[in-house]
Structure 1
Amino acid sequence: MSGGAVLLVEALAAIVILIMLIVRVQLSPAIALILVSLGLAWVVGIPPAEIVRTFEGGVGNALGHIALVVGLGTILGRMLVQSGGAERIAGTIVGWFGAPRADWAMMTVALVVGLPVFFEVGFVLLVPIVFTLARQVGAHPMRIALPMAAGLSVVHAMVPPHPAAMLAAQSYGADLGLTIAFALLIGVPTAMVAGPLYARWIVPRLTGPTSPSTAPTQEAPRELPGFGVTVATLLLPVALMLAGSFASLVLPTGSPPESALRLVGSPVVALLAAVLVSYWTLGLARGLSLETIRDYTNDCLAPTAMITLVVGVGAGFGKVLTAGGVSDAIIAAAAQAHLPVVVLAWLIAALLRIATGSATVAMATTVGIVAPLVTLSGTRPELLVIATGAGSVVLSHVNDGGFWLVKEYFGLSMADTVRSWTVCETLISVVALILTLGVSAVL
């Protein structure tokens, strides 16, 4: 076999071994990921002196963002639950949609909240509402969680101003407004199929009960905060991030106001601001003491430690795959195939996603390969943005942080996480590709 084929076989073998260590040997996912990452780095030829440094680089880059986002988002979620705000939002949403359509309500909320935020930010913001809503309607939490995750994933991958989608739109020369319009036209029905419709079919077939290690707990009932103030607190980081994303469109680049908006609109600063605001709107204004708020903050962070560690080492595994040449082997194999540029963009992004576990990395890498082909293909660049985004979410597995977020937050087995989350992501990818090809054929 050629060198590229050998790399692909080695990477596939590493993933199989990883799954076996977790499922059969019952090894902690974090320990299994570390062992397999270091072993694969040695097998693919990364110099021994660079193996640990490469792995730590991937872990550090991920944790620098993930740890703060998960921590601050968890604190905001705890305040939302302890104040009764999550119960207020859940009750209002159910009142609007009706209890039988609570899953559709959650998908709608996720599509809106997820527009300007990273997947993991929206996830930790909405998880408390998922548990509260599931309890109110008497449903399995995954019945509500899967539509939420589908909505967040769709907008994260396909809709600007998310960074990877924005990069693709700029590199392909796509009109930003049309890209957003096409993304919503294709993304909304995609989220419907992969979210509420699939959840209604798969959740009764999950084999294990959910036992979420980070499920929020609620104190004795008290007067609930108003719907308006609760939603305003929840959407404050969304509004700040949205303002940061569009700062350069309305203000001179590099000007003090533009720089300030970008700072305030960064996920960490936006979430920190929302946490501080929640201390008043959902804490002190509700009669909670500063000591109680401090205890809530400290107590809610402990269960996130394993989630954060697993996400970090999963990113380290992806870094080893990239540094070892597996990504290059995937690109070379895809380039030899004579396919329509829409399918080629989807395929390259899909293969990179499977190898690295990162939708953002998959999109950013694919853009560099496909951009020179845009003018020759005759395909609308806006549709290429969507096809690239669709490919970047396929087949989420053990090297993807989202996989572990869903598994750990909802206490699922590995098998049930694959049946629910992995298939949901794959449905998003395939359905969006089919719809994109259909729109491309009409235009």
Structure 2
Amino acid sequence: MENFTQTLGAGPLLGIAAGAVALILLLVIRFKVHAFLALILVSLLTAFATGIPAGEIVNTLVTSFGGTLGSVALLIGLGAMLGKMVEHSGGARILADKLVDIFGEKRAPFALGLASLIMGFPIFFDAGLVVMLPIIFAVARRMGGNNVLLYGIPAATAFSVMHVFVPPHPGPVAATELYGANLGLVLLVGILIAFPIWYLTGYLWGKFVSTKYILPVPALFGSIDEDQPANPPKPSTVIAMLLLPLVLIFMNTGLDFLDGAGVVDAENQTWVQILSTIGSSPVALLISVLVATAVLGHRRGEQGTALEKVLDSSLGPVCSVILITGAGGMFGGVLRASGIGDALSNSLEAIGLPIIVAAYVIAVILRVAQGSATVALVTTAGLMAPAVVAGSFSPLEIAAITLASAAGSVFASHVNDSGFWLVGRLMGMDVKTTLKTWTVQQSLESLAGFALTLVIFWIG
């Protein structure tokens, strides 16, 4: 690729990029082609259309795919294992019960939402919501049984916020990789903005809509969750398991900062190198999974094959996400190799549209059009990454652009989004009510997230 010189102008290149995105949407929406296959096919066609030498096309595709998966697959797989251990041990329920005891029944919506925020760090949206709903329904019944949205919307929003903005969830991890952002910085900023986003668009919005739509608690799970273990871990143990990867990753980020400030010497001090390795995201999550396996598994009496099956069951649901993420990285690699990123960067500068705004708008359009937040975020990051690289942004600005793209990817969940049906059906809402409650909530979450990322971008 060193000898490849792009001869097409900015207009044709941007036209090809727009056509490529439109083709992805057409294949996924109209013809129901799996996103993994659609991204590979469009990447191949884009490579041909932009004039990449035929002998280099396969190498470009495979290298981009593998480069993305090298870090993403580890983070998503290990994150899924950690979440499964916490869920299987009964930690989710015991933590929620403890928070309700601390805050009192009158503040139960706040307590359940806070528990969901904590649990949402390692657990994916769908799994987390299903885990928490039996607890939510039990608390709602205790408080009268006719106001499920007061308890359900804050909790569902909490899982959504964590899933969209905070690694190790697949969307922000993939976007971080594609944009070349600092994962520790994205994690730190994501956690900082998660609580205000949840409080404004989840807790307060849940209190509001619960007065507009009085819905009984659905009888989906019975009165209690019968599958919970008899010997769950202590709440403090669960919190420690969730804090462990955060502490290790933040340690690495702090060492990078100290190295840049000249306080430590990462090149020549062995102890700094060892701690940096331990604090790298894959190693931090590996350590956390091993500790969780020992503390939440072996110490509770689970051994051998049974424990292995629990961990194995966490990987199946995330395989599709991992492959789609890799294919999104492939698409981004083709765009970078073809020179489309440079053309996009120059065009954005010419019309005066800031890259962070363009990234948000593109993610919103993709989200509304095809429904999947992950596909919208990965596609946006692949499209915008070359322009970000060419823009010479600071690490904090790149982190803000990454999270702005994430904010756009959650806008206006509706009938083409599986999460729309999950939330609506589990909480006993019809389509019209779900549109008025959940779709509006997702739009508010997107706008609030974008507003906060803009502030971070300006600070950076």
TM-score for the superposition, normalised by structure 2: 0.67
Where 1:27 maps in the other structure, the secondary structure is coil
What is the Cα deviation at residue 107 of structure 1? 7.0
Q: Which position in structure 2 is the counterpart of 1:432?
A: 452
Shift of 1:262: 0.7
Equivalent of residue 278 in structure 1, options 292, 315, 320? 292
Equivalent residue, structure 2, for 1:101: 110
Preserved contact between residue 76 and residue 275 of structure 1 (Cα < 8 Å): yes
What letter is aligned with 2:159? M
Shift of 1:39: 1.4
Indicate which of 60, 80, 87 corresponds to 1:81.
87
**8 Å contact kept, 2:40–2:327:** yes
Establish whether residue 10 from structure 1 lines up as the match of residue 20 from structure 2. no
CA deviations on 1:370-414 (whole Å, 9 max, x unpaired) are 65xx9xxxxxx98x67864554435339xxxxxxxx96999799x
Match of 1:297 among 311, 316, 325: 311
In structure 2, relative to structure 1, the CA distance for the partners of 1:263 and 1:284 (3 Å cut) is: same
Give distance in 2, aligned partners of 1:165 and 1:43.
26
Give the Cα separation in 1 of the matches to 2:423 and 2:54.
36
One of 220, 228, 241 as aligned partner of 2:236: 228
Task: Spell out, residue by residue over 1:189-225, the C-alpha distance to the aligned partner (whole angstroms, 9 max, x if none).
Answer: 44544555678899999xxxxxxxxxxx984531211
RMSD: 4.7
Counterparts of 1:12-411 in structure 2, within 5 Å, are 12-96=18-102, 98-101=107-110, 104-105=113-114, 109=118, 122-124=121-123, 128-138=127-137, 144-151=155-162, 153-154=164-165, 184=192, 189-190=196-197, 192-193=199-200, 196=203, 219=227, 221-248=229-256, 249=258, 251-254=264-267, 255-338=269-352, 344=354, 346-347=356-357, 350=360, 357=379, 366=388, 369=391, 388=401, 391-393=404-406, 395-396=408-409
The 2-side partners of 1:231 and 1:271 are apart by 15
Q: Is the 8 A contact 2:84 2:310 kept in 1?
A: yes
Deviation at 1:165, TM superposition (A): 10
The structure-2 alpha-carbon separation of the partners of 1:314 and 1:142, relative to structure 1 and needing over 3 Å to count, comes to farther
Paired with 1:202 and 1:48, the residues of 2 have a C-alpha distance of 56
C-alpha distance in 2 between matches for 1:436 and 1:308 = 29
Within 1, Cα distance between the matches of 2:9 and 2:339?
A: 10
Task: For residue 436 of structure 1, report the CA deviation from its aligned partner.
Answer: 6.8
> TM-score, normalised to structure 1's length?
0.69
Please give the residue correspondences for 1:411-430 in structure 2 after superposition, counting only pairs within 5 Å: 423=443, 426-428=446-448, 430=450
Uncovered stretches (5+) of structure 1, i.e. residues with no partner: 114-121, 171-179, 206-216, 375-380, 398-405
Deviation at 1:7, TM superposition (A): 2.1
Q: Return closer, same or farther for 1:387/1:61 CA change in 2, 3 Å cut-off.
A: closer
**Paired letter, 2:320:** M
- SS of residue paired to 1:46: coil
Aligned-partner residue type, residue 251 of structure 2: A
Decide whether the 8 Å contact of 2:359 with 2:384 is kept in 1: yes
Q: CA deviation at 1:335?
A: 1.3
SS of structure 2 residue aligned to 1:303? helix
Asked whether the 8 Å contact 1:394–1:425 carries over to 2, the reply is yes
CA distance in 2 between counterparts of 1:387 and 1:75 reads 28
CA distance in 2, matches of 1:107, 1:187: 12
Q: Matches of 1:368 and 1:131 in 2, distance apart?
A: 42
Question: How many Å separate the matches in 2 of 1:237 and 1:368?
Answer: 32
- Cα distance between partner residues in 2 of 1:355 and 1:327: 16
